Structure 1
Amino acid sequence: MINFNGTIVSEDANILTQNRAFLYGDAVFETVKILNNKILFLEDHYFRLMSSMRVVRMEIPMNFTMEYLEEQILSLVKKKALTDSSRARITVYRNDGGYYLPQNNTVSFLIHSIALENTLYSIEKKQYEVDLYKDFYITKQLLSSIKTTNKIINITGSIFANENGLDNCLLLNDSKNVVEALQGNIFMLLGSKLITPPVSEGCLNGVMRKQILALAKKIENLEVVEEVISPFDLQKADELFITNVIKGIQPITQYRKKVFTTAISVQLTEKLNEMIGTT
């Protein structure tokens, strides 16, 4: 089942032959995590979605309030009995009509949800190896900071990682600096300094990135900055980890021959779960 424009229908009800998201990638999306019938970080997700729609010049319907979208997501989750722990994705796409030039800027939306095994965030105690993906590069522009359905770099990078026995890859921008991972933002601990690339470098303006920046600034004797990360910096790092709203924090244990610790990842995960429990 999917939530299609506010009505829960079977998944085969959405015809793709004229769908602009399917034909041109003319869509934006948000993926949220639901715990105990509550959408985590709802306000951050909502405002990023609204910002994304404005960037690509979509017409925002009058009823697209935060309360309306929350209701639409939770109605599907409740219908599918997934209120304990689940992920949901809302995709907003420009309506049918036109070729590259749309006939209008009105939108429709689709929501899909699946169950998650774990409720709170946790650190998996396993090896997690990454390397650079250099076939294609992310450009330093506003479009790179929002979630559109044009994810061909992430797709080809994921295939590369799978073919080479890697758990993930790190993406570079057109200045050959490290921007993010295939499925989230990147953080690097160097001594007592925690670094993540600024959004101006082309990384996603991640919702979990925002939470981790705020939590890390509360850790005593830890300097938290947004700075450029070069590939050479990775070899000097003490710790690397990836963040996204579904996983939380994923420590990287190995980059090429360099092996990393996970102490800050564990500490931040504990603080993240504490925050969830009090909101």
Structure 2
Amino acid sequence: MSGLQVHTDKHLLGTKDLSEQEITSILDRAAYWEQYPVKVSNHLQGRFVANMFFENSTRTRFSFEVAEKRLGAEVLNFSAAVSSVQKGESIYDTVRTLESMGIDAGVIRMKPNGLLAELAQKIKVPLINAGDGNNEHPTQALLDLYTMRKQFGHIRGLHVVIIGDVQHSRVARSNLWALRTLGAKVSFCSPPGMQAPELAEYASYISMEEALKADVVMMLRVQLERHEGTLFGSAEEYRASYGLTVERAERMAPHAIIMHPAPVNRDVEIDDELVESPKSRIFPQMGHGVPIRMAVIERALS
């Protein structure tokens, strides 16, 4: 096997092509790091990791940075807003420049669909997808699975419903692929204008009433500005039809949990008082992002 192929195996571009064994290995290693007795290790001392964010992010970028620093890596933060990208430099040239300077791995977030796979063919250092367009967001899905496994002890056999703007959601896609690989049943619940028809063969679209019967109710952030002229003229109208209200949450099964990848539009896709309710795992999800990303970075550089 060539050096390029070895490096390519270290990329994490999405969950679609990850095996059950690979996903389970990452979840197990995250559990190890969550219990690790020391906050900062020297595990990746002397290794340089660049966070290359061509799209704005708060939770994901800081979560990766905390993970990298906990592993003892040297962290380089790149922001497109204050870079030569503003002068017309291509994403490829930017990544290639950082590679030539000696980084050992790159965490990358970008708006264009499909470009990351092309980059991975040309860049020899491992690349970790921190969200690309509406394609995939693998570490979000992995931390979601970690949260579910921690709650229920298993993934296989769970019914997970993903509610909201599936059409534009990379989180929905990465969760769909990973959950199916681990043996969960996935359903979607979306207004007609927010559905992704190409995913219907992998997960059926169900009513809000049916969705409330699932083991995991995962709400997606809704950007109504993307759907001008569709069913909903206001956030209030969306909430009335597809929001997780207090009244709807009372109809969930006693064991069921509420999840959301954040940022949360309170009182739109989910009522304010549910965000930190006993059923909610929204903030624990965010916390699980650090050990998951530690495991993913370690995988890339091991």
Instruction: State the TM-score, normalized to the length of structure 1.
Output: 0.30
Select the structure with the greater relative contact order (CA < 8 A; seq sep ≥ 6): 2
